[in-house]
């Protein structure tokens, strides 16, 4: 289970940082930064883990608790930014925005993974950090819940893609809907399945024009 050993080893004010949404075909990439107080960790956070290992009910519970006891910053990069600068750089941008929105500036940002954005504070990367660091696990939960809720709202406007269930990831249902319904402005045109559909549609138009 993740704990605060890395945070205590680094010393000072440490923000755990994580992002979600690199793989979907639609929607933003979202990052969160979370500062936990080692002296103020309620029992209600027992069991907090990598968001991918938690049920939706558990994540919602932890979000409620974290909003009460933690300092939280959330940042995102939109589909236009993803297509313009690529998903990796958009993820870095979302992290920068998340750390920048913390009410307290951290001494160190503990970043999940092996790449760190350029921040105003020291940045330390930690591979599989969401399973090792409690503050990164908290950030992963905040980021996932934030993005999932955003995709549910988008689903209400574009109900044909199942975004309330797949959050924009390339499930069979979502990919089939691309073929039957087409694209929205929230689809990432730089991603291969979406780009292939655009190219196929362009070819169809060209063939129709030639007939």
What mean pLDDT is predicted for residues 75-91?
98
- Predicted confidence (pLDDT) per residue in 175-190, tens digit: 999 989 999 999 999 9
- For the segment(s) 5-204, the CATH number from 3.30.420.10, 3.30.230.10, 3.40.50.720, 1.10.10.10 is 3.30.420.10
Which residue, among 110, 141, 131, 128, has the nearest Cα to 44 in the 3D structure? 141
**Statement: residue 130 has pLDDT above 90:** yes
Which two structure tokens, joined as six digits, stand for 107? 């001494």
Span 132-184, pLDDT tens digits: 999 999 999 999 999 999 999 999 999 999 999 999 999 999 999 998 999 99
Give pLDDT, residue 206.
39
Contact 34, 135 (CB under 8 A): yes
Q: What is the pLDDT of residues 35-63, one digit of tens each?
A: 999 999 999 999 999 999 999 999 999 99
Asked if the model's pLDDT at residue 203 lies above 70, the reply is no
Domains of the chain, by residue range, sit at: 5-204
Find the distance separating the first CA and the last CA of the chain, reported in whole Å: 63
Determine whether 186 is exposed, middle or buried from the number of CB atoms within 10 Å of its CB (0-12, 13-18, 19+): buried
């Amino acid at each position: 289970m993740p704990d605060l050993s890395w945070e205590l080893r680094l010393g000072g004010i440490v923000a755990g940082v994580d992002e979600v949404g690199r793989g979907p075909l639609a929607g933003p990439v979202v990052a969160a930064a979370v500062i936990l107080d080692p002296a103020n960790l309620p029992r209600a956070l027992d069991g907090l883990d990598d968001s991918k290992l938690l049920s939706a009910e558990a994540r919602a519970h932890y979000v409620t608790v974290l909003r009460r006891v933690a300092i939280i910053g959330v940042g995102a990069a939109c589909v236009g930014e993803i297509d313009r600068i690529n998903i990796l750089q958009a993820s870095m941008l979302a992290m920068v925005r998340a750390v920048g929105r913390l009410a307290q500036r951290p001494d160190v940002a503990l970043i999940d993974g092996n790449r760190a954005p350029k921040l105003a504070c020291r940045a330390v990367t930690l591979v599989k950090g969401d399973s090792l660091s409690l503050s990164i696990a908290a950030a992963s939960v905040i980021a996932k819940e934030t993005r999932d809720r955003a995709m549910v709202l988008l689903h209400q406007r574009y109900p044909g893609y199942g975004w309330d269930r797949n959050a924009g990831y390339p499930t069979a249902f979502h990919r089939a809907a691309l073929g039957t319904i087409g694209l929205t402005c929230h689809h990432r045109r730089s991603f291969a399945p979406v780009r292939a559909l655009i190219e196929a549609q362009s070819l169809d138009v060209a063939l129709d024009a030639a007939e």
